[in-house]
Amino acid sequence: MELIWQDDADDTVPGLLAAVRAEDGVPDTPADGGVPAEFRSGRHLLARDGGATAGYAHVDVRGDSLGNRIVELFVHPGHRRRGVGTALVDEVLTIDSPLRLWSHRDHPGAARIAAAKDLARVRELFQMRLDNAVELPEQTRPREGVTLRTFVPGRDEQAMVDVNKAAFDWHPEQGMLTVADVVAAEKEAWFDPAGFFLAVDENGEVVGFHWTKVHPDGTGEVYVVGIHPDAQGGGLGRALTLAGLHHLRARGVPEIILYVESDNAPALAVYRRLGFTLRYTNVAYQR
């Protein structure tokens, strides 16, 4: 087996990721057959076996707000249980930096490697789903003085990012969102300003948002809901959440998903009351 570091993902990576998705249901792959947006920068590690790309690891060198570089690893289903994943992890662990390695859907193979390498389970991220058989509550109005409108590209990026930063100053990834990140997302095929809701106060200031997403397979997502700490309460979060959920249902999505930290008890309570149920857990390991 040969391990090769590259500055870009070569043309074998999309096929490997598509094969992994067909087997495991993840990762999300773009409709054009390329690599996900989050894999278009950083460092790329390929495992070659007999001339074929048997495994792939992506290292986000920008990292998170805690100083960790973020690693995601994938092994082609046809090359599993041959030591490819262990070889990728061993090579990644030579990086002289704090690392967090993500296991999608709490994969048992990843758990075995983590135990062998003495990696600690440090974070759990739930994916929850809302079946279309679950009836949504009627939309609610935000409190007096606050109205909802949709996002205007070229005008609202900074205001939205400011709210996001205040709402997620505790979050290792979401709090790092920049205007450039939002502008880049606007160029993606899935971006739809009609599904990006802003809460605006009587002074015209953005105080909350609900950014929805429709995946290439038609699945709807509660992508991000953020409320400025000074504007929390009064049913604003519920109003924004329901606006997005009703919008996605009107788009005809087969189901709606979201991601939430396993220890975010208030958010979990809200989503469970709306009918969301746990589908699977993503796990982050750290040395």
Q: What is the pLDDT of residues 229-241, one digit of tens each?
A: 999 888 999 999 9
Q: Domain limits of the chain? A: 2-118, 130-281
Answer yes or no: is 149 a known binding residue.
no
Using the predicted structure, report yes or no on whether residue 13 has a pLDDT greater than 90.
yes
Answer yes or no: is 259 a known binding residue.
yes
The model's confidence at residue 109, banded by pLDDT at 50, 70 and 90, is very high
Using the predicted structure, report yes or no on whether residue 29 has a pLDDT greater than 90.
no
Q: What is the CATH number of domain 130-281?
A: 3.40.630.30
What percent of the chain clears pLDDT 70, i.e. is strictly above it? Answer: 100
Answer yes or no: is 50 a known binding residue.
no
Using the predicted structure, report yes or no on whether residue 28 has a pLDDT greater than 90.
no
Answer yes or no: is 25 a known binding residue.
no
Is 144 or 99 the better-scoring residue by pLDDT? 99
pLDDT reported for residue 34: 86
Answer yes or no: is 225 a known binding residue.
yes
Answer yes or no: is 86 a known binding residue.
yes
Query: Which CATH superfamily hosts domain 2-118?
Result: Gcn5-related N-acetyltransferase (GNAT) (3.40.630.30)
Q: How far apart are CA 225 and CA 238, in angstroms?
A: 10
pLDDT reported for residue 32: 79
Using the predicted structure, report yes or no on whether residue 199 has a pLDDT greater than 90.
yes
Using the predicted structure, report yes or no on whether residue 215 has a pLDDT greater than 90.
yes
Using the predicted structure, report yes or no on whether residue 33 has a pLDDT greater than 90.
no
What mean pLDDT is predicted for residues 136-145?
A: 91
Answer yes or no: is 83 a known binding residue.
yes
Instruction: Give yes or no on whether 2-118 and 130-281 have one common fold.
Output: yes
pLDDT reported for residue 30: 85
Using the predicted structure, report yes or no on whether residue 266 has a pLDDT greater than 90.
no
Using the predicted structure, report yes or no on whether residue 255 has a pLDDT greater than 90.
yes
Answer yes or no: is 237 a known binding residue.
yes
Answer yes or no: is 275 a known binding residue.
no
Query: How big is the CA angle at 233 (ends 228 and 239), to the nearest 5 degrees?
Result: 85
What mean pLDDT is predicted for residues 45-60?
A: 96
Q: Tens digit of pLDDT for each residue in 57-103?
A: 999 999 999 999 999 999 999 999 999 999 999 999 999 999 999 99
Strand partners, 284: 102, 123
Answer yes or no: is 208 a known binding residue.
no
Residue 218: CA count within 13 A, CB half-sphere: 8
Answer yes or no: is 227 a known binding residue.
yes
Answer yes or no: is 138 a known binding residue.
no
